[in-house]
Amino acid sequence: MINIAVFASGNGSNFQAIYEAVKHQRLDANISLVVCDRPGAQVIARAKKVGIPVFSFSAKDYESKSAYEEDLLIKLREHRVQLVVLAGYMRIVGETLLEAFPGGIVNIHPSLLPSFPGKDAVEQAVAAGVKVTGVTVHYVDEGVDTGPIIAQQSVSIREGESIEAVTKRIHEVEHAIYPKILQKVIHRHLSILN
Ligand code: GRF
């Protein structure tokens, strides 16, 4: 069994999907901590409701990215976290965390990377008029959505479809694939750690 931390900034529907997969034994992991950089975010209520410890922080209370990441690292070590799972965490991961978790930070992004990295990926895809977008699960490096790709699934954009409708279908795909891909990543990661 591996201890994971889920990092999120907002709603936390991907956290919920991961939690359900763990609960129903589709994912061999223990969510030992949820980390959130927005103290009022819905993900905090979701985690508390199911009894998972939460560490929430405000970046503005720290002098620098390395200062808050040092604090995060203390919490991650306290909770014996072995793999960091980003699920809607809206910050660029800095070298403090990258060095502490080499090859051990995973992210999900709502586009077929390398197309449409960064914020508002669904809006970017709809504005560009592409007929196909999708979801990418990738390892995190120092760039913005640039790390090695683990898996992708396409989602078509229908004629005249709204951003909200595409976003909804992308979320459905995310909730289905993230736990499945994480299961594979975890087994690969455990074989490296052991
Ligand atoms: C997801 O679309 C994810 O791909 C992106 O942020 C969104 C988070 O949604 N990185 P939620 O908070 O999990 O509902």
For the Cβ of 134 lying below 6 angstroms from any atom of ligand 1, the answer is no
DSSP strand pairing (2-8 vs 29-36): parallel
Q: How far apart are CA 176 and CA 184, in angstroms?
A: 14
- Would you call 189 a catalytic residue per the annotation? no
Instruction: Give the mean model confidence (pLDDT) for residues 135-145.
Output: 97
For the Cβ of 12 lying below 6 angstroms from any atom of ligand 1, the answer is yes
For the Cβ of 8 lying below 6 angstroms from any atom of ligand 1, the answer is yes
Residue nearest (by alpha carbon) to ligand 1 atom 1: 88
- Quote the pTM value: 0.96
Give the confidence band of 189 by pLDDT, cuts at 50, 70, 90: confident
Burial class, 28, CB count within 10 angstroms (exposed 0-12 / middle 13-18 / buried 19+): middle
φ/ψ region of 103 (left if φ > 0, alpha if ψ in -120 to 50, else beta) reads left
- Residue from 46, 25, 13 nearest 174 by CA: 13
Specify the pLDDT at position 158.
94
Ligand 1 atom with minimal separation from the 107 CA: 10
Specify the pLDDT at position 44.
98
Specify the pLDDT at position 151.
98
- Residue from 81, 101, 90 nearest 12 by CA: 90
Give the confidence band of 143 by pLDDT, cuts at 50, 70, 90: very high
4-59 pLDDT, tens digit each: 999 999 999 999 999 999 999 999 999 999 999 999 999 999 999 999 999 999 99
Ligand 1 atom with minimal separation from the 174 CA: 4
DSSP state of 103: T
Out of 109, 138, 171, 189, which one is annotated catalytic?
Answer: 109
